[in-house]
Amino acid sequence: MGVDLQLKLSSMKPNLSVGHSKLCDYVIDNFNHIPSYSGSQLAQSAGVSLSTLHRFIRLLDFENFTAFKFAMKSDINNIETQKHSGVENPSDRVFNKVLRSAKLAHQSLDMKLLGEVAKYISLSERIYLLDFGEERLFLDYLENTLRCANKSVLVIPQISLDINQLDHKDLIISIEQTGDEEAVVSLLTRSYSTNAMLVRFSNTVNTQIQKLSDIDINIAAIADGNGDEYRSERYLGLMMAIDVVSDLVRDAQASVI
């Protein structure tokens, strides 16, 4: 399957409509055969309308179906050339490694759970982002998205949460990879009695914090083991999960406006 177009298709899939997502899956699964299809054959095989196919092609920035098929043929030929040469240059090796990680990360996304997170964000009056000092990049991104959606957001160190101020209209979001820390578990156990919602993004499993969470977005499921590739998959998975939630929140805000 073509590397350039494969990455483009995989990266855009989380934000596609139902029809476009269905078509995208079919193209990915049957990439090498599609250059021999006509437009009507592809639409019928994928179970979508011809107009859906044309809109999908424009989303990919192709002028028409012919240009789309030409790009696929080019990618297929490039892959075959690499196979026969038996040589993979360093940039291609890194690219393919990231591509494999991105595919695994994408497959790990549970859109239903992420939609639930976005719903709770929309309904909550106050949102507390727990700062563990580990995932500050993702925390800052989520904070900025929530503030742009006019949500009341507080970023606080994990053990500085004042549970006396919490009620059922509040949402606590934790982005961490440390597993159980006694002080944090104690704090969240006490906050559980306030009926505030707890959403957790993490790469650890079978922890007390996971059991206390109302929604657990667990990135650990996408890979086993350690090393650079595992870390790439985990970070890409976390990035995609946060990004999808952020897009859903922005979409909800736009529909209100």
Give CA–CA dist 64/122, Å, rounded: 39
Closest C-alpha among 212, 206, 173, 169 to residue 189: 212
Instruction: Report CA-CA distances (Å) from 88 to 3, 81, 124, 238.
Output: 13, 11, 50, 29
Chain Cα centroid distance, residue 144: 17
Among all chains, which residue has been given the structure tokens 């994928």? 46
Q: pTM of this prediction?
A: 0.58
Instruction: Report CA-CA distances (Å) from 163 to 64, 170, 176, 184, 256.
Output: 57, 11, 20, 12, 31
Full pLDDT tens readout for the chain, 257 residues: 344 777 788 778 778 888 898 998 899 888 888 888 888 899 999 999 989 999 999 888 888 888 888 888 887 777 666 655 555 566 677 777 777 777 777 777 788 888 999 888 888 889 988 877 666 778 888 888 888 878 888 888 766 778 888 888 899 888 876 666 677 778 778 887 888 888 888 777 777 777 888 888 877 655 444 445 556 667 777 788 888 888 888 777 766 55
Closest C-alpha among 175, 129, 174, 176 to residue 151: 129
